[in-house]
């Protein structure tokens, strides 16, 4: 959320309407008593003008509303911003409407927020807005909520004003500083005021003091203004005290050093995140390929089935998108596992000990599955919604934030991995799977039903592919080609890590992810990809059995 | 364990080869004559469409033959033969691009069209000299040959084998595909090389040129077939079969198996490159899509369908699957992938030796029956 | 077989044989006649869109659109008193197969016109075949320009009908000063970005205010690039992203934008390849406010559009299906062709191609599309903001229709080249400086 402010900071409000707001606002701050109660009468009438307003006139109207309604229009503004503001077609009454679980809309008065009953979608018309209106609304809400009692509202308001940092916002911030109780917000306000002092104050000690306060502040506006200040003195030889210049340069330098550190962390996170995706898609393959020796070219399509299962689950429970993923994970596991078992029983069991031929048969199966999905769901991508807890990002500071979906997927991938390890190491099924993988004949002699174990192993690997599909549905398209994009990557990870070794898959996926992400800024995405592939090819020449080769008899064949 | 062509006696092999060559040249010559000499409304007229299609199939057959030589006879499953095919095609494509000269849309005799509108100032060094056919012909073989040698030398020396090798070849072609997609590479990016005008001064759109190219492909296929037959029947070929059946034993007997494998791999890559070079002037476009791993897997499937370990099986497989593809994409455009997919599954599960295996099984049963009768 | 069946007297046998022969002759001739009648009775319309492979996602819709148009035309009584017959083939997203299928359509099925192709490479693959066999191709997708063939009519947008108006809008209305040109690494983005770069620099934007980034097809991990855009946009000037990112890579790109907190008010993204159909596969809430430039939006209110949408939903039997710009281009192309055939009174390619020039057809946004002498259309340019229902709200449109420019004025190589298929020039790449028309063999 900091970014929008960062960018707005220099946005010049050439639009006369917005200038008008600002001017009136200054009046509002300093001469509050001038405006009487009379406005309240005018306000509903003004709000009523929103019905059917032209996009071009909307910024002007928003300005008038802000002046007339002050904090009373905040809910209305927010509704407008979120696309919840409608008007009734019958009487053109402007209302806030939200979709109710019953499928119709619950109406509330736009200003008083009192319930007004329900209406069908057909009876309502949405009040559409554009980007220009949106940014105007954001600014207006910031000004109006600066003095709110809720610190969570004040914080973005302060950040918004900090970003613009013109005379009016400074005036507002000064009055806000006087009554601010939250130390965090107060510190931000002080930094904003310090930056303002540095830029406009003629007093050199005050400037130096301001620079002290700015040291280590990560807001982009600070570094942009400092850089601009240094540049202007260099280019135009503007009259600035050399001590101030030196100090400003030092402060900017230390800020850049901090940012570099955070950028390193960010890249590391990107790498881990890419690695976690690779881990998810490769784990299933590590089982079917690594343990059973089946080159499953349909692995990608099993992932795709998982993603489509997520889609179907969301169709079935449209009102509980938040929980849909929790349902989708076991559902996708079951669907893909069942498909996997069918594939194993009907095709792969006839191809035992002929790994290269499983490749051909499963390639045919992948074509079949793809075309089936295309026929059933159409070749178009399907829309899988992201629940709100997976949207947005965890902001650690102004330059470093972690997106929630990536973060959860990282955790999820590790959980799946641990669960799989437990299954293989701690259950009797796992014991049998390992036994069959090590020596099929001996396992058979010990009374293990190898057929049954094969089917279950393949089902397990396929099921994990399905789970990966659920995760991928949150990152990328859900379409018939979803699987193909990941099949080669997953083979690379498994071979690089060492076939038959789950730890190899873990280390392999994370190291490939991180290497890729550290290469990317320097080489671009395509070249990074190529370099990683060439690296793997050369690495395999050096260590033909991957990072963690399987030892013993099983590793030989 | 694969028991391929070596179960046949020398006599049947000879008869087989003669039959193959006779059918190949019989059909192609017939098509050429009928296309060039007969009027269009004649019942026996063979359309140019059919001729170009045949030319394309013959290139595919040569590619399948290349895969069969190393997979069927040496057990090396390459999922990256499309790379050699495409490289050969690209070299030929570059030659054809240079032949356009100033007849491109911008009338620039120095640069190919795609370089003009992307503001390239001068021809990259690796395009130099490709105006000469002899150099292009040399490079068609040299570039893929060197790549195959480098890759094979590294891989076979460190004993990368089986599934690992297959996946590495796949990575190789995938990396090349990504590289050729990059516009900075100077190979036209995704649009590839296209809009060719003529080859050695002959108009590519003329029927005679098409027929000639088709005959060249037939000739290449026939020669490759005979050469492969000779190579595999020689002492070198015996060692190759030994490596396929038990590499460790062959090594313990004192053969440097990796050398044998490298040279066979290079030979196979050369065949693939030749196929690519013949393919491009006939289809009129070469694009990085040819490097796609899926294409290479498809080639393997053709071989499997036809029957690996028999040279004619690979050729028949390539022709059959491609013919089916042409038919199905026209007749049942929405469902042909179902047919193709099922075919692959059925062939691998029910006909592990492909159609050739089926034929020889039928043949041996007939012989057995005949023996019983006698 | 029982021998006594043949125990017929010789005379009888002779008469029987005679009868049989005459019957056969009649049957044969009627058969032949029927073939001839059949061949003459219908006008064949080739449909060359991928129904499988990577491009099926976009192209299947266009196949259905053509089939719908054919059906509607037949209901109106066909053309020249004949019924239309659609011949559908599947080039399977495989470029050499495109060329092969074109040859099949033109020689085996002898189609009178082909509607097809989506990607530039497929068009490039088809082009030599269409020119050699003198076919007629209608290409309905926005593309990079730099081409004008005698046998092809381009009904999608050229760069000056999409990219340049979009940049103008961003500059004038949103006061954008810093530009990210992000695209998939293939020819359309490369050319468009070259044109835009030249255009921006000509209008005074400095080198360091332009960031160009290319990604591979189907790129799915956008973390680093979005972070870079965020950093680039944080430098204090209003920044916008001009996206020529292709199809499948868009969903993860927009998701990452939303998650990293880049809203449309901060850094608007204007896309040239994202339409209603692409949006129907995305949860659009985080995208609200991002832009797209097209010649058509489903949300445009006009009688023709309302009819078209109704017709489409009825044809496809799905109320949720949307319409998009390439569909409109197909619609215009089909109507133009039908009108040209009526005017020419024949389906012969050369006559129809001649009749095409200057032909007008209503487009769905209420204005009239004109086929120009360079085989490109004049169409209005619209800029829309994405809404949370997956539709676009038009925020800006050109006052007049913009004629499509085959050869960009902003590329040094093509500045002097014009396409004009009317005598005396009659050439797709006429160099005005050298007065030459290179490489044409007709």
Distance from CA of B83 to the nearest CA of A (A): 14
B300 interfacial to chain A (CB closer than 8 Å)? yes
Q: Is C425 exposed, middle or buried (0-12, 13-18, 19+ CB in 10 A)?
A: middle
Segment C390-439, tens digit of pLDDT: 899 898 988 889 999 999 988 888 888 899 999 888 888 888 888 888 76
Q: In whole angstroms, what is the distance from residue C10 CA to residue A375 CA? A: 61
Q: What is the C-alpha separation between A534 and A515, in angstroms, rounded?
A: 13
B227-242: average pLDDT = 93
Phi, psi of C238, rounded to the nearest 5 degrees: -60, 125
Confidence (pLDDT) at B56:
94
* A403 vs C contacts (CB less than 8 Å): 223, 256, 259-260
Q: Give the H or E element holding residue A6.
A: helix A2-8
Please tell me which of the candidates A270, A381, A529 has its beta carbon nearest to residue C57. Answer: A381
Distance of alpha carbon C95 from alpha carbon B90, whole angstroms: 15
With contacts defined as CB-CB under 8 Å, which chain B residues touch C412? 119
Q: Does residue B121 belong to the interface with chain C, where contact is any CB pair within 8 Å?
A: no
Class of domain C163-271: alpha beta
| Number of helices followed by number of strands (H, E) in chain C | 12, 19
* Beta carbons of A544 and B158 less than 8 Å apart: yes
CA distance C351 to B119: 37
Rounded distance between C-alpha atoms, residue C359 and residue C371, angstroms: 6
Chain B residues 305-344 within an 8 A CB cutoff of chain C: 326, 329-330, 333-334, 336-337
pLDDT digit string, tens, across residues B26-83: 999 999 999 888 888 888 888 889 999 999 999 999 999 999 999 999 999 999 999 9
Q: Quick check: B48 contacting C, CB < 8 Å? A: yes
How many structural domains does chain A have? 3
Interchain contact, B103 vs C429, CB within 8 Å: no
Indicate whether A492 belongs to any domain: no
Q: Is B305 an interface residue toward A (CB < 8 Å)?
A: no
Q: Are residues A189 and A92 in the same domain?
A: no
Q: Is the pLDDT of residue B310 over 50?
A: yes
Average pLDDT over residues A445-457: 91
Residues A15 and A119 in one domain: yes
pLDDT value at position C441? 52
More confident residue, A256 or C3: A256
Phi–psi pair at C326, nearest 5 degrees: -60, -30
Residues A229 and A112 in one domain: no
CB A506 within 8 A of CB A497: yes
Contact assignment for B166 to A492 by CB distance below 8 Å: no
Which chains form contacts with chain A, at 3 or more CB pairs under 8 Å?
B, C
Give strand pairing partners of C368. Answer: C362
Residues of B in contact with C108 (CB under 8 A): 47, 49
Q: Do A364 and B160 touch (CB under 8 A)?
A: no
Question: What's the CATH superfamily of C42-157+301-378?
Answer: Response regulator (3.40.50.2300)
Report the domain count for chain B: 1
Q: Give the range of the structural domain holding residue A32, as residue numbers without chain letter.
A: 2-139
Tell me, what's the pLDDT at C270? 94
Residue at token pair 């034993």: B249
The vertex-A452 CA angle with A446 and A453, nearest 5°, equals: 70
Residue in B171, B162, B192, B169 with CA at minimum distance from that of residue B286: B192
For residue A36, what pLDDT is reported? 39
Ranges of beta strands (E only) in chain B are: 193-194, 198-199, 202-203, 285-286
Say if residue A126 is in the same domain as residue A164. Answer: no
Whether residues A172 and A128 fall in one domain: no
Instruction: Label residues B267-295 b or e (16+ Cβ within 10 Å = b).
Output: bbbbbbbbbbbbbbbbbbbbbbbbbbbbb
Highest averaged pLDDT of the listed ranges A436-445, B183-192, C81-90, C273-282:
C81-90
A120 and A160 assigned to the same domain: no
- Calpha distance C130→C111 (Å, rounded): 12
Question: Hey, what are B186's tokens?
Answer: 């100077």
For the stretch A2-49, pLDDT in tens is 444 444 444 443 444 445 444 444 444 444 433 334 444 478 888 888
What are the residue ranges of helices labelled H in B118-198?
133-157, 162-181
Tens-digit pLDDT profile for residues A515-538: 999 999 888 888 898 999 999 999
Q: Domains of chain C: which residue ranges? A: 42-157+301-378, 163-271
Please give the C-alpha separations between residue C174 and each of A132, A159, C139, in angstroms, as whole numbers: 8, 22, 33
For chain C, the straight-line distance linking the first and the last C-alpha, in angstroms and rounded, comes to 64
Residue A555 lies in a domain: no
User: If you write DSSP's letter for every residue of A276-304 in order, what string do you get?
Assistant: HHHHHHHHHHIIIIIIT----TTHHHHHH
Size of interface B-C (CB pairs under 8 A): 141
Maximum separation of any 2 CA atoms in chain C, in Å: 107
DSSP designation for A478: B
What the block records as the tokens of A234 is 């260099």
Q: Which residues make beta-bridge pairs with C183?
A: C214, C244
Tens of pLDDT along chain C (442 residues) come to 434 444 444 444 445 445 544 444 444 444 443 344 444 589 999 999 998 878 888 899 999 999 999 999 999 999 999 999 999 999 988 888 999 999 999 999 999 999 999 998 999 999 999 999 999 999 999 999 989 999 999 999 999 999 999 999 999 888 899 999 999 888 889 889 999 999 999 999 999 999 999 988 888 889 999 999 999 988 888 999 999 998 778 888 988 988 888 888 889 999 998 999 888 877 788 788 899 999 999 999 899 999 999 999 999 998 889 999 999 999 999 999 999 999 999 999 999 999 999 999 999 998 999 999 999 999 999 999 998 888 998 989 888 899 999 999 888 888 888 999 998 888 888 888 888 887 665 4
- Among A457, A486, A515, the domain boundary falls at A486
| Smallest CA–CA distance from C228 into chain A, residue | A521
Residues in chain B within 8 Å Cβ distance of A491? 167, 170
pLDDT band of residue A415 (cuts 50, 70, 90) is: very high
CB A261 within 8 A of CB A449: no
Residue-level pLDDT at A238? 60
- Output B13 or B371, whichever has higher pLDDT: B13
Report the alpha-carbon distance of residue C181 to residue C169 in Å, rounded. 15
Q: Does A193 touch chain B (CB under 8 A)?
A: no
Q: Which of A251-255, B39-43, B277-281 has the highest mean pLDDT?
A: B277-281
Q: Please give the mean pLDDT across all residues of chain A.
A: 84
Residues A301 and A197 in one domain: no
pLDDT of residue A554 exceeding 50, the answer is no
Give the end of a domain, one of A424, A459, A486: A486
Position A149 in a domain: no
- Give the residue from C229, C227, C222 showing the smallest Cα distance to C250: C222
Q: Are residues A102 and A235 in the same domain?
A: no
pTM to 2 decimal places: 0.87
Using CB atoms, which residue from C239, C251, C265 is nearest to A131?
A: C265
- A373: tokens are 């999905």
Of the partner residues A9, A134, A392, the one whose CB lies closest to the CB of residue C261:
A392
ipTM: 0.88
d(CA A300, CA C353): 46
pLDDT in tens, C259-300: 888 888 889 999 998 999 888 877 788 788 899 999 999 999
pLDDT at B374: 52
SS3 call for C176:
coil
- B contacts of A368 (beta carbons < 8 Å): 337-338, 341-342, 345
Which of B119, B181, B333 is the closest to C51 by Cβ? B333
Give the distance from residue C55's alpha carbon to the nearest chain A alpha carbon, in angstroms: 9
Same-domain check for residues A299 and A213: no
- Are A116 and A193 in the same domain? no
A542 to chain B: closest CA residue? B158
B316 within 8 A of B125, measured Cβ to Cβ: no
Check which CATH number belongs to the domain holding B116 and give it.
1.10.3470
| Intra-chain end-to-end CA distance of chain A, in Å | 56
What would you report as the CA-atom Rg of chain C, rounded to the nearest whole angstrom? 26
Task: Read off the pLDDT of each residue in A265-275 and give the average, rounded to a whole number.
Answer: 95
Burial (0-12, 13-18, 19+ Cβ within 10 Å), B108: middle
Residues A172 and A199 in one domain: yes
The answer to whether B44 touches B52, Cβ cutoff 8 Å, is no
Confidence of residue A237 (pLDDT cuts 50, 70, 90): low
Residue A496: inside a domain, yes or no?
Answer: no
Q: What 3-state class would DSSP assign to C288?
A: coil
Is residue A273 over pLDDT 90? yes
Local confidence band at A555 (pLDDT 50, 70, 90 cut-offs): very low
Contacts of C91 in chain B (CB under 8 A): 329
CB neighbour class for A555 (10 Å; exposed up to 12, middle 13-18, buried from 19): middle
State which of A486, A518, A538 marks the end of a domain. A486
Note whether C138 and C338 are within 8 A (CB).
Answer: no
Tell me the nearest-neighbour CA distance from A497 into chain B, angstroms: 12
CB atoms within 10 A of CB C340: 24
**Any idea of the CA torsion for B134, B136, B137, B139, to the nearest 10 degrees?**
120
């Amino acid at each position: 959320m900091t970014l929008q402010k960062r960018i707005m900071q220099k946005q010049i409000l050439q639009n006369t309407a917005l200038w008008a707001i600002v001017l009136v606002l200054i009046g509002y701050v300093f001469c509050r008593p001038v405006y009487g109660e009379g406005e309240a009468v005018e306000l509903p009438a003004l709000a009523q003008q929103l019905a059917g307003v032209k996009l071009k006139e909307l910024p002007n109207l928003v300005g008038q509303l802000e002046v007339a309604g002050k904090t009373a229009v905040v809910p209305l503004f927010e509704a407008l911003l979120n696309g919840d503001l409608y008007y009734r077609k019958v009487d053109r009454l402007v209302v806030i409407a939200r979709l109710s679980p019953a499928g119709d809309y619950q109406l509330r008065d736009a200003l008083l927020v009192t319930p007004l009953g329900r209406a069908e979608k057909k009876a309502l018309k949405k009040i559409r807005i554009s980007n220009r209106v949106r940014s105007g609304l954001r600014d207006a809400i910031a000004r109006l909520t600066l003095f709110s009692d809720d610190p969570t509202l004040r914080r973005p308001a302060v950040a918004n004003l900090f970003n613009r940092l013109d005379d009016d916002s400074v005036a507002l911030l000064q009055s806000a500083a006087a009554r601010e109780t939250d130390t965090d917000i107060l510190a931000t306000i002080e930094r904003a005021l310090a930056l303002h002092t540095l830029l406009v104050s003629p007093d050199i000690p005050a400037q130096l003091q301001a620079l002290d306060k700015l040291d280590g502040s990560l807001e982009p506006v600070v570094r942009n203004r400092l850089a601009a200040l240094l540049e202007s003195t260099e280019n135009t030889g503007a009259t600035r005290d050399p001590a101030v210049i030196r100090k400003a340069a030092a402060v900017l330098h230390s800020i850049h050093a901090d940012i570099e550190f955070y950028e390193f962390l960010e890249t590391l996170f990107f790498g881990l995140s890419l690695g976690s995706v690779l881990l998810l898609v490769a784990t299933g393959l590590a089982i079917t390929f690594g343990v059973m020796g089946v080159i499953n070219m349909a692995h990608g399509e099993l992932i795709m089935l998982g993603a489509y299962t997520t889609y179907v689950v969301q169709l079935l429970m449209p009102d509980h998108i938040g929980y849909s993923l929790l349902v989708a994970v076991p559902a996708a596991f079951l669907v893909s596992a069942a498909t996997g078992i069918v594939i194993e029983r009907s095709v792969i069991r006839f191809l035992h000990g002929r790994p290269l031929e499983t490749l051909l048969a499963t390639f045919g199966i992948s074509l079949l599955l793809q075309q089936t999905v295309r026929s059933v769901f159409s070749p178009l991508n399907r829309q899988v919604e992201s629940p709100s807890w997976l949207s947005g990002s965890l902001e650690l500071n102004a330059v470093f934030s972690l997106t929630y979906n990536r973060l959860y997927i990282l955790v999820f991938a590790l959980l799946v991995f641990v669960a799989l390890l437990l299954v293989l190491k701690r259950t009797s099924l796992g014991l049998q799977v390992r036994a069959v993988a090590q020596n099929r004949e001996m396992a058979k002699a010990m009374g293990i039903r190898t057929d049954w174990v094969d089917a279950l192993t393949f089902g397990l690997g396929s099921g994990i592919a399905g789970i990966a599909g659920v995760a991928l549905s949150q990152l990328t398209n859900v379409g018939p080609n979803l699987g193909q994009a990941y099949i080669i990557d997953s083979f690379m990870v498994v071979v690089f890590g060492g076939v038959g070794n789950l730890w190899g898959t873990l280390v392999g996926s994370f190291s490939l992810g991180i290497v890729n992400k550290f290469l990317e800024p320097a080489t671009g995405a395509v070249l990074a990809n190529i370099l990683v592939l060439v690296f793997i090819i050369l690495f395999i020449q050096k260590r033909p059995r991957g990072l963690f080769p399987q030892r013993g008899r099983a590793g030989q064949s | 364990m694969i028991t391929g062509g070596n179960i046949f006696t020398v006599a049947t092999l000879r008869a087989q080869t003669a039959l193959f060559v006779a059918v190949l040249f019989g059909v192609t010559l017939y098509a050429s004559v009928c296309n060039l000499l007969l009027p269009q409304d004649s019942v026996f007229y063979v359309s140019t469409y059919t001729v170009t299609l045949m030319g394309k199939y013959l290139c595919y057959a040569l590619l399948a033959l290349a895969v069969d030589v190393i997979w069927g006879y040496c057990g090396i499953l390459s999922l990256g033969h499309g790379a050699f095919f495409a490289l050969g095609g690209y070299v030929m494509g570059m030659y054809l691009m240079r032949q356009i000269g100033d007849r491109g849309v911008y009338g620039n005799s120095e640069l190919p069209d795609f370089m003009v509108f992307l503001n390239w100032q001068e021809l990259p060094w690796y395009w130099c000299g490709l105006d000469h056919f002899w150099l292009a012909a040399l490079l068609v073989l040299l570039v893929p040959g060197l790549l195959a040698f480098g890759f094979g030398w590294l891989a076979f020396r460190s004993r990368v084998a089986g599934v690992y090798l297959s996946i590495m070849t796949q990575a190789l072609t995938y990396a090349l595909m990504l590289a050729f997609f990059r516009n900075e590479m100077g190979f036209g990016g995704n649009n590839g090389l296209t809009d060719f005008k003529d080859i050695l001064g002959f108009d590519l759109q003329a029927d005679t040129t098409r027929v000639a190219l088709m005959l060249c492909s037939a000739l290449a296929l026939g020669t490759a077939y005979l050469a492969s037959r000779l190579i595999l029947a020689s002492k070198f070929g015996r060692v190759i079969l030994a490596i396929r059946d038990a590499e460790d034993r062959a090594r313990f007997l004192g053969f440097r198996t990796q050398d044998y494998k490298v040279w066979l791999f290079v030979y196979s890559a050369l065949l693939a490159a030749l196929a690519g070079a013949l393919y491009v002037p006939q289809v009129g476009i070469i694009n990085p899509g040819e490097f796609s791993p899926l294409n290479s897997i498809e080639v393997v499937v053709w071989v499997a369908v036809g029957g690996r370990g028999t040279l004619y099986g690979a050729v028949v497989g390539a022709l059959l699957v491609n013919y089916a593809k042409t038919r199905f994409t026209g007749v049942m455009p929405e469902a042909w992938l179902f047919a193709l997919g099922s075919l692959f599954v059925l062939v691998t599960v029910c006909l592990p030796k492909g159609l050739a295996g089926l034929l020889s099984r039928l043949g041996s049963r007939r012989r057995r029956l005949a023996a019983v009768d006698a | 077989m029982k021998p006594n069946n043949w125990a017929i007297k010789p005379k009888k046998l002779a008469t029987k044989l005679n009868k049989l022969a005459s019957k056969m002759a009649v049957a044969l001739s009627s058969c032949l006649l029927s073939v001839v009648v059949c061949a003459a009775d219908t006008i064949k319309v080739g449909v060359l869109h991928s129904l499988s492979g990577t491009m099926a996602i976009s192209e299947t819709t266009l196949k259905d659109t053509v089939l719908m148009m054919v059906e509607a035309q037949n209901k109106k009584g066909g053309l020249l008193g004949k019924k239309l017959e659609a011949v559908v083939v599947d080039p399977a997203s495989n470029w050499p197969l495109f060329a092969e299928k074109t040859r099949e359509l033109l020689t085996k099925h002898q189609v009178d016109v082909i509607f097809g192709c989506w990607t530039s490479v497929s068009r490039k693959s088809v082009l030599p075949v269409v020119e050699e066999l003198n076919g007629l191709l209608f290409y309905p997708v926005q593309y990079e320009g730099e081409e004008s063939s005698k046998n092809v009519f381009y009904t999608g947008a050229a760069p000056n009908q999409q990219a340049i108006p979009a940049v103008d809008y961003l500059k004038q209305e949103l006061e954008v000063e810093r530009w990210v040109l992000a695209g998939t690494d293939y020819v359309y983005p490369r050319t468009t970005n070259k044109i835009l770069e030249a255009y921006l620099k000509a209008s005074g934007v400095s080198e360091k205010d332009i960031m160009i980034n290319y990604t591979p097809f189907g790129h799915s991990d956008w973390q680093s690039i979005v972070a870079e855009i965020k950093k680039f946009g944080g430098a204090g000037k209003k920044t916008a992203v001009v996206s020529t990112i292709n199809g499948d890579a868009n969903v993860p790109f927009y998701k990452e934008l939303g998650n990293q907190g880049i809203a449309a008010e901060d850094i608007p993204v204007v896309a040239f390849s994202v339409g209603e159909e692409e949006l129907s596969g995305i949860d659009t809430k985080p995208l609200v406010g991002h832009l797209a430039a097209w010649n058509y939006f489903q949300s445009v209110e006009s009688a023709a559009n309302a009819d078209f949408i109704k017709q489409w939903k009825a044809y496809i039997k799905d109320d949720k299906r949307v319409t998009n710009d390439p569909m409109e281009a197909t619609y215009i192309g089909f109507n133009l062709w039908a009108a040209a055939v009526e005017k020419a009174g024949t389906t012969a390619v050369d006559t129809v191609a001649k009749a095409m020039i200057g032909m007008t057809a209503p487009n769905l946004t209420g204005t009239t599309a004109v086929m120009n002498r360079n085989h490109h259309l004049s169409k209005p340019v619209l800029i829309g903001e994405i809404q949370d229902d997956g539709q676009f709200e038009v925020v800006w449109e050109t006052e007049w229709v913009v004629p499509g420019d085959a050869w960009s004025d902003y590329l040094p190589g093509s500045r002097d080249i014009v396409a004009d298929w009317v005598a005396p020039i009659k050439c797709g790449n006429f160099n005005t400086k050298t007065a030459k028309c290179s490489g044409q063999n007709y």
